[in-house]
Structure 1
């Protein structure tokens, strides 16, 4: 008897886990903290959620001829042409609750595409040019890969914001050690090497 999950269920599981991880990284922070750019390129926690919503609305919508029903909620091609980072930050008029609600609805929309279509369903990614002909399976893997990178960004941004770390709130997956001593140990090792490239 085969007890392994089928491919679609496995992919959905990982996609949902990544979404859950992204969403918990924004829990309990103020609007200011969520919007604060924390890297030289402006990466911020709320912007990552807005970007994730935009990714899923496009890849599980337009690509399979199922456009997101309220396109005004995600930046259009024209808006992105004018402001290439329009999907990486919340405007003054967009609240955290609006962005979180959007992402939850987009996730349901994406899950419907995934559950209703076979994994070999054909799609077309217009923004990929000549390599734009795809299957649903390829797109799910691509989105899992893309969102995983952003979940990693969110991990670091959240740790910088208030020290919260880990995969999920109930299991940090961080060893119970003296972290300050560990960081000192790593700094001591790093400082034994030249600061400049040879």
Structure 2
């Protein structure tokens, strides 16, 4: 397996894991803001799809024909990070799949050293290669998947990639409560020794 296929495999896996965070949730739960900055699950999916279309489309002279009105001048603030009532979950999931297919076509068509230009980056950094952007999008998608992991846990307690995730300790609800209590006790003990 070469570097490009390895990076593409990781990007595809993170995309699918991000989409899976929506499974089994109500319309309200996929849309509701769970942080003071409004972060929500469906908005993360919309954002990642929108960003991918820019990075693997416009940057390499391969723009897509799909309109993204939430990125237009005059759109609501941060409109790529939340979903209006008029936008359906199905539309956002389809956008995510369309974006992935468009991005994959660019990745497969170009060499890792293919040049690109990121017009929204500062002049001293805007000249890039496909390799740089592929790494950038792997990192960005993984970052937003991490956000989605936490949001999903806040909604219904689901953690990681579900039961049997080898990256999470296997504990029942009582064991998780005991673990959380230990962490809380340690934080309070540290607070007691904190000096201004």
Do the two structures share a fold, i.e. TM-score over 0.5?
A: yes
Name the CA distance, whole Å, in 1 between partners of 2:158 and 2:6.
28
Is it true that 1:167 corresponds to 2:167 in the alignment? no
Alignment map for 1:137-176 (pairs within 5 Å):
137-167=131-161, 171=165, 173-176=167-170
TM-superposed CA distance for 1:193, in Å, is 1.6
Aligned-residue RMSD, C-alpha: 1.6
Q: Is there any run of 5+ residues in structure 1 with no aligned partner, and where?
A: none
1:21 and 1:168 in contact (8 A); partners too: no
Question: Which of 34, 38, 55 pairs up with 1:38?
Answer: 34
TM-superposed CA distance for 1:69, in Å, is 1.5
Query: Cα deviation per residue 1:80-115 (whole Å; 9 max; x = unaligned)?
Result: xx4331100111110001100110111011000000
Is it true that 1:93 corresponds to 2:86 in the alignment? yes
In the alignment of these two chains, the number of paired residues is 191
TM-superposed CA distance for 1:75, in Å, is 2.6
Q: Is there any run of 5+ residues in structure 2 with no aligned partner, and where?
A: none
TM-superposed CA distance for 1:74, in Å, is 5.3
Is it true that 1:136 corresponds to 2:133 in the alignment? no
Name the CA distance, whole Å, in 2 between partners of 1:107 and 1:13.
12
Q: Which runs of 4+ in 1 moved over 4 A?
A: none
* TM-score (structure 1 length as normaliser): 0.91
Match of 1:106 in 2: 99
Query: Cα deviation per residue 1:143-195 (whole Å; 9 max; x = unaligned)?
Result: 11111110000000000011111135663632122111000111111110227
1:24 and 1:169 in contact (8 A); partners too: no
